[in-house]
Amino acid sequence: MAKPFYQLSTEEEYKKAYNKSVSNPEEFWDEIANTFQWRKKWDNVLNWNFSGPDINWFINGKLNITENCIDRHLKENADKTAIIWEPNEDGAPVKTYTYRQLHEEVNRFSNVLVNNGISKGDRVCIYLPMIPEAAFAMLACARVGAIHSVVFAGFSSRALSDRVQDAKAKMVITSDGLVRGKKKLLLRNIVAEALEDCTSVETVITIRHTGDKVETNHLDKWYHVELSKASPEFEAVEMDSEDELFILYTSGSTGKPKGVVHTCGGYMVYADYSFRNVFQYEGDDIFWCTADVGWITGHTYIVYGPLLAGATCLMFEGIPTYPEADRFWKVVEKHNVNEFYTAPTAIRALMACGDDLPDKYPMESLKVIGSVGEPINVEAWEWYNKHVGKHRAALVDTWWQTETGGIMISNLGNIGEHKPTHAGLPLPGIQPVLLTAEGDLMEENGKEGLLAIKFPWPSMIRTTWEDHERCKNVYFSTFKDHYFTGDGAKRDENGLYRIIGRVDDVINVSGHRLGTAEVENAINEHEHVIESAVVGFPHDIKGQGIYAFVICNEVLDENAYRAEIENKVSSIIGKIAKPDKIQFVTGLPKTRSGKIMRRILRKIADGSHDQLGDISTLLDPSVVDDIIKGKVN
């Protein structure tokens, strides 16, 4: 498979492409978009303003993204493997799907959707484990013009219900169960609980995966039964470039998750562009991203990006430490994986299991290894480079967000300087700046500033579902004419960006963003909790852990209360949000206007008690001393 002209191979090509993308962005993206299959070409490449925000790419262009993910590959690569599925159990049968088989599976699933009343613009919630049907479901939604909203299958029934209700989903697609390592969840039962308060759902399609007996009711239809009635032929529905492709919920600084909306045309172009360039995918390479499709990484770099590029992508159902902590490396060897993309949390967890496990495996197939989800620390970077990459594979650290749709800052394979803890240079088309808190441009290198983007890119967020004002307030109101990322960053003398971390009330736990307010709201539902404040603190494995300071009306049994609060948070949000530390306190450090001084709590949480700074402006400075001393009553 020949590389397209826009897949860069040298530093010189990168510089030329970047300069053109800045000096003439419309021509730059016009040429790239022209390589895709469109039913009608666009009238204009771009209309935009960040004050709205109002961003439109490839205006009045008509397409269906699945024709570019699947159909256009059928002429020359129909028998090429599109998806390899590696199951949870080591040694269990692997499933593979060629592009021809993927085409048939997606067409059949599309007919299942239409036969059950789904049409263009309807929202479909997908709550599935890491099985091939998760990808089929996403692509089928896109093929019929429905908007998919994938919810991570580790989220609780309450979190699922909130997302279904916000999207007003007409259908939920789930499975009987989920297996992850030794753990098993009955997903259909969780869905049943979630739907008690969801009036919009008309049908639940359940895929038989584990064979467990689950609760069903009048909403239920079994996927295998519906599939038996479905034709393998389906004509993809024509979509406008700016029609919604999917909603993906992400936590923010307020309690309610935000439904980030991405649209068809721009997302398609950038997903392909970033995938090809960052990972330097070639010909018959095997690409493996270990993320879950419930997160943006799974959307862009398991499903859409690889398939748009005609790649072979590996989907993995299990966890890195089951049955042994060498599972990742065994899978790399087994499938001759060429590009491997995982999170610093997984890397740190595997570091703790010893060097001998990855050292047993040559992993000579690896050409590129990647890191995603959070800034990677020096120790993890060096271990990953030495024991997995063998100082041979290029290590690409990647910075991006749910809202950006694709990787924004990174090395492009071997192109450019690889420096621990530095994500690298912006991709062509991406124009980052560092700003002061007042919005002034920071041109001097080596100082920490606030990371913002001054010009639109094709895959950027268009709105937050049914709440455009929230999109404006969160991303476009902090700095005039800029998208604000919420991250702090530095730039070195060579222009390489180093991401420092969140500067808002969002904690990055194992690469997953959790709003402090969302966790606090869950804690506060405990009957004895009066108020709580949550901050992040350094965690050896997760990167950031969750530290909760909790005021109760009385504390009769600290251990019992901690267990109850942990269970409360797990049941409302999911185990991923369970606090790592809970400290009961008599009060919280507040200003006279009632604002909690989280800066002080962060210092206490990370043990920097001697670096609290000025606390004289607090309403009651003695509260700080009580917290440090561990006073409860």
pLDDT tens, residue by residue, 447-472: 889 999 999 999 999 999 999 999 99
Grade residue 531 by pLDDT with cuts at 50, 70 and 90: confident
pTM of the full structure: 0.88
Residues 6+ apart with CB under 8 A from 447: 434, 490
Q: Residue 324: what residue type?
A: E
Q: Specify whether the CB–CB gap between 409 and 427 falls below 8 A.
A: yes
Paired residues of 203 in beta bridges: 171
Q: For the residues 208-216, what does the mean pLDDT come to?
A: 93
Give the 3-state secondary structure of residue 41. Answer: coil
What confidence category does residue 560 fall into, taking pLDDT thresholds of 50, 70 and 90? Answer: very high
Spatial separation of the C-alpha atoms in residues 73 and 69, rounded to whole Å: 8
What confidence tens digit (pLDDT) does each residue in 66-87 have?
A: 999 999 999 999 999 999 999 9
**In whole angstroms, how far apart are CA 557 and each of 411, 551, 560, 565?**
52, 14, 5, 12
Choosing among 3.40.50.12780, 3.40.190.10, 3.10.580.10, 3.90.1300.10, the CATH entry for 11-65+247-500 is 3.40.50.12780
DSSP 299: I
User: What are the structural domain ranges in the chain?
Assistant: 11-65+247-500, 70-231, 509-629
Per-residue confidence (pLDDT) for residue 1, from 0 to 100: 67
Q: Is 91 exposed, middle or buried (0-12, 13-18, 19+ CB in 10 A)?
A: exposed
For 80-126, the pLDDT digits (tens) are 999 999 999 999 999 999 999 999 999 999 999 999 999 999 999 99
In this prediction, residues 147-158 reach a mean pLDDT of: 94
| CA–CA dist 260, 271 (Å, integer) | 16
**Do the domains 70-231 and 11-65+247-500 match in fold?**
yes
> Which residue from 77, 127, 121, 122 is spatially nearest to 102, judged by alpha carbons?
77
What are residue 436's DSSP bridge partners?
Answer: none
Strand partners for 258: 250
pLDDT at residue 65 tops 90: yes
What's the rounded Cα separation, in Å, for the pair 130 and 293? 7
Q: Does 555 score more than 70 pLDDT? A: yes
Q: What is the reported pLDDT for 506? A: 79
- Multiple choice CATH, 70-231, 3.40.50.720, 1.25.40.10, 3.40.50.12780, 3.40.920.10: 3.40.50.12780
Q: Please provide the average confidence, as pLDDT, over all residues in the chain.
A: 93
Residue with tokens 């049943």: 192
Tell me the β-bridge partners of 56.
47
Please tell me the class of the 509-629 domain: alpha beta
User: Above pLDDT 70, what percent of the chain?
Assistant: 97
Distance (Å, rounded) from C-alpha 45 to C-alpha 456?
A: 12
Q: What is the DSSP string of 458-524?
A: TTS--EETT-HHHHIIIIISSSTTSEEEEEEEEE-TT--EEEEEE-SSEEEETTEEEEHHHHHHHHT
User: How many CB atoms sit inside 10 A of residue 242's CB?
Assistant: 18
CB atoms within 10 A of CB 473: 13
The C-alpha atoms of residue 547 and residue 596 are separated, in whole angstroms, by 15
Q: Give first-to-last CA distance, the chain, whole Å.
A: 69
